[in-house]
Amino acid sequence: MIYSHFSLFVVCLCAMVELGQAQPAVTRTAQQISQVHKVADESRATSQKTRVQNITDKPRAVLQKTQVHKGADESRATLLKAQVHEIAAKAGIPLIQVAYWDGKELISFESSQSDSLKESADCSSVFQAASLSKPVLAYIVLKMADEGRIDMDMPLYKYTDIDRFTNKEWAKLLTARMVLTHRTGLADWAASPSSAGWPTSPIEFVCRPDSCFGYSGEGIAFLQRAVENIREKSLQQIAQEDVFTPYGMNHSSFEWKGEYDSIAVPGFNKEGTNRGVRRFPGANAAYTLRTTASDYMKFLKVIASGTGLKAGTHKAQLTPVVHAPYYLGQDRPEDKNIFWAICLGVEKNEELGNIIFHWGDNGNFKGLFLIVPGDRHAETRAGIKSTDAKPKNDRLLVYFTNSAHGHDIINQLTPLFLHNKQPLQISSWIGE
């Protein structure tokens, strides 16, 4: 599943302080997954094919001076940057961008492992966020539901057409809630979403709606059309009004912006070949968001806090609804503790609690975000010493890379920030 995953890592450290019940589970087949991943390289045959030079397993000297704002621990930030740089270099990742928030200080940095790519001085390099696009639409829909603009359980055909669906009766069952919990019964895509034929390609069901978990970009695009019809505006206009402007995400957009000519980074395949920056044919809520780690961290704080949503809506957003096996008809050990809430994955982790996550994979751009819940009562709960308690505050981590190897480093990266002793199941669930 491409166009729905994230990638960002780069070492230009800018340390900043700122403040269910399980359903029957079926998903994509291995063949479907393989076919979907190929989409990431389609239409790229004419892209620039410059090899990445001088990616080494030894960290280079940090080129950009570390910037520290009030309250930040400069020595910790510098160490984290150097450690991430070494991990990314060994994995063959040209550029990585990271942002981490522990409730007290924000650390963000960009690191280049290639002489052919320079680090931006202000961490402003823009990456394809891939599937990290999806939670933005989900937030918009939840906000609209709170405002009475959309009913989460109203069939979406009441808001938009179902002309492309081959099974109209099943299409009439689809709701916003089913789409956002990936229970539509649809495949990921009917055709490559960047192809000329996609807008008119027939949409077929893999299983009956509300009977299975099946990750679907097609469902997200269907919901996008409904939202655009209700609001009588484009996705970009709506996202600008509801998310980007209110939360100061100045470098984020579902459409190409003029500034991207100079700050959007190219992607690199597994062989280290430069496959170019690539422009998409139109705004798609499933995969076309471009952003920075610092921008996306602002949005993660909104998700974690429930800003702009009713308390009940926010609670529902984070509550697991369906077990989420990655492949259709397969029940792997890696799937055991993975569930899906409202457009958010949930790993039930014995060490860290319910980890909220989403991954992004546009082939040569990969990324991930994690929200690790804090225990705000740990220090005062009887029998628990403050030194043994979990951190009181939520901890938020997001990274983007411009590399097909971007998910290879999950279990090397996360302990640096979260101090977990056991690997996260998320890494093996993705299956890379």
pTM: 0.85
Angle, CA 226 vertex, CA 310 and CA 362 arms, to 5°? 90
pLDDT at 369: 98
pLDDT at 72: 56
Task: With cut-offs at 50, 70 and 90, classify the pLDDT of residue 389.
Answer: low
Residues found in the chain:
432
Q: Is the per-residue pLDDT at 99 higher than 80?
A: yes
How much is the mean pLDDT over the chain? Answer: 85
CB 96 within 8 A of CB 365: no
Amino acid sitting at position 356 = I
Encode pLDDT of 235-286 as tens digits.
Answer: 999 999 999 999 999 999 999 999 999 999 999 999 999 999 999 999 999 9
Q: How far is CA 210 from CA 22, 31, 38, 403, in A?
A: 12, 23, 28, 35
pLDDT at 350: 95
What are the E-state strand segments in 27-126? 67-68, 95-101, 106-112
Share of the chain above pLDDT 70, in %: 80
Encode pLDDT of 212-231 as tens digits.
Answer: 999 999 999 999 999 999 99
Angle, CA 378 vertex, CA 83 and CA 307 arms, to 5°? 75
**Token pair recorded at residue 316:** 């529902």
Fold of 14-430: Beta-lactamase (3.40.710)
